[in-house]
Amino acid sequence: MSPKGLLIDVTACLGPSCGKCVVVCKRENNLPDGIEEKLSFRSFTVLQKRDGLFVRKLCMHCEHPSCVAVCPVGALSKRETGAVVYDAGKCMGCRYCMVACPFEVPTFEWNDWNPRIRKCILCADRIEKGLVTACAEACPTEATLFGDRQTLITIAESRIRKNAEKYQPRMFGLFEAGGTSVFYLSAVPFEILGFPKRLTEEAPPELPWHILQQVPTVVLMGAFILGGSYWLYRRREEVAKLEAQMKDEKGHAGTKGGASHVE
């Protein structure tokens, strides 16, 4: 199955007065009712008002997800459909995924004795059956569009081309943090919509991966330095012993007895 994604057009969103995406998301994922401002274990998607516009936040389903890369037990994984999913059965609750995520997406059940990481999973089971995500199905305008990642990129580019005066010249998500599966079109700069400023184009997981590849070098160098030092130390001791012995023998030869034995 080809990688899927979402295209979110901030200019077409009706905001909380519609709010259908939020409601169906909660129903799809069995989450408690209620409107929240921030992503949490209660809300996998939220509508935030920024500069008169409504921006919908949800998991970006990165092409090279930091959360998937850093999870020590592989509780998070990226499916063929592009959906980044979570397996609570493996999770040990270290929350490294939350700290690592450049978009502050994964949330935690802070007041549960057996807490889970909670986040949007791009309706992974639905889309594998060939369905559309719940939010995209519910959206009455073209604010949320579900489709093949490549198709969405083409659509976004053509919207920008046709309405150059309305949109920012580039979409968000093509290169940010190594590329995402959720794209945004906006009328205002993306920083104003609350997106992080210092995102790199290099996928963040590459950074620790380059370092981890140095591990064999460090091990070999360590073995060489420590082994060499030990050899030198032993050699020095041997030489010192021999020298002492020679001195002692000389002493023996000169005075005949009297000198103490060297061990």
Partner 1 sequence: MLNRFKGLLKPWPVITAVVVGMAVAIAIQRYIHGLGSVTNLSDSSAWGLWIGMDVLSGIALAAGGFIMASSVYVFGLKKFKPIVRMSILTAFMGYLFFVAGLLVELGRPWNIWHCIVYWNVHSPLFWKAWCVMVYSTVLVLEFSQVIFEKFGWKRLEDIFHRVSVPLIVVGAIVATLDQSLVGTLFTVMPSKLDALWYSPILPVLFFSSCIAAGLAMIIFESALSKRFLNHETPLPLLVSVSKGLTIALGIFAILRFADLATRGALPLAFTSRYETPFFWLEIVLFFILPFILLINKKTRTSPRGLFFASLSVVFGLLMHRLNVVTTGFAQVNAGYSPSWQEFVISTAFVMVGFVLVGMVVRYLPVIPEEAPAPAVSDEEAEEYVRVAWSV
Return the amino acid letter for 132: V
* 3-class secondary-structure state, position 95: coil
Residue list 178-197, contact with partner 1 (CB under 8 A):
196-197
User: Is residue 240 involved in binding partner 1 (CB under 8 A)?
Assistant: no
Q: Which residue pairs, CB below 8 angstroms and at least 24 apart, start in 48-51? A: 48/193, 48/194, 49/15, 50/188, 50/192, 50/193, 50/194, 51/188, 51/192, 51/193
Residue 251 amino acid letter:
G
* Residue from 10, 177, 185, 193 in contact with partner 1 (CB under 8 A): 177
Contact 5, 148 (CB under 8 A): yes
Q: Is 109 in the site for partner 1 (CB under 8 A)?
A: yes
Structure tokens at 208: 């620790």
Minimum CB distance to partner 1, residue 149 (Å): 22
In this structure, what DSSP letter does residue 170 have?
S
Stretch near partner 1 under the rule CB under 8 A, chosen from 22-30, 142-150, 161-169, 212-220 = 212-220
Establish if 261 lies at the interface with partner 1 (CB under 8 A).
Answer: no
Give the nearest distance from C-beta 45 to partner 1 in angstroms. 14
Please tell me the total number of residues recorded for the chain in this structure.
263
SS3 (DSSP) at 29: coil
Q: Which is nearer to partner 1, 145 or 203 (CB)?
A: 203
Residues 36-65 contacting partner 1, CB under 8 A: 38-40
Question: What's the CA gap between 30 and 170, in Å, rounded?
Answer: 35
Distance from C-alpha of 20 to C-alpha of 25, rounded to nearest angstrom: 8
CB closer to partner 1 out of 164 and 219: 219
Based on CB atoms, which residue is closest to partner 1, 2 or 229?
A: 229
- Interface with partner 1 (CB under 8 A), residue from 233, 239, 241, 246: 233
| Chain contacts with partner 1 (rule: CB under 8 A) | 38-40, 66, 69-75, 90-96, 98-100, 102, 104, 106-115, 177, 196-200, 204-205, 207-209, 211-212, 215, 218-219, 222-223, 226-227, 229-230, 232-234, 236-237
